[in-house]
Amino acid sequence: MTDINQIVKNLKKYKPEKIILFGSHAWGKPNASSDVDILVVKKSKLSRRIRTAQAEKFLGALPYPVDVFVYTPGEIERRKELGDFFINLILKKGQVIYERR
């Protein structure tokens, strides 16, 4: 069983601006082999590869697969302006499961 609340609890320690659930878990069609797709928006000057590795450490060992993508707010804006299908789909159909206040 997938525990989205546990994912949020673990990733909140990473201090993101926003966490967005997308893919089959957000769109209501997960099956037993579905992974959990997460977009994390975080202010950072580190490379995306390093940010992703950091987020994965905060996720910890979970009994189900999680794919996490970490973008800065600026990267999100640039990709939206370029018409990036992946980012636009996530922003349009994804579920915001955490947002820093």
Instruction: Check residue 77 and give its pLDDT.
Output: 98
Q: For residue 1, is pLDDT > 70?
A: no
Interatomic CA distance for residues 62 and 10, integer angstroms: 10
At 17-48, the pLDDT tens digits run 999 999 998 988 888 788 999 999 999 999 99
What is the Cα 93 distance to its own chain's centre? Answer: 13
Phi/psi of residue 30, nearest 5 degrees: -75, 155
Report the sign of the C-alpha dihedral through residues 70, 65, 36, 6, in that order. Answer: negative
Q: Which CATH architecture has domain 2-97?
A: 2-Layer Sandwich (3.30)
Indicate the domain borders of the chain. 2-97
Residue 84 pLDDT? 97
Q: Do residues 19 and 38 lie in contact, with contact meaning Cβ atoms separated by under 8 Å?
A: yes
Tokens of 77: 């804006």
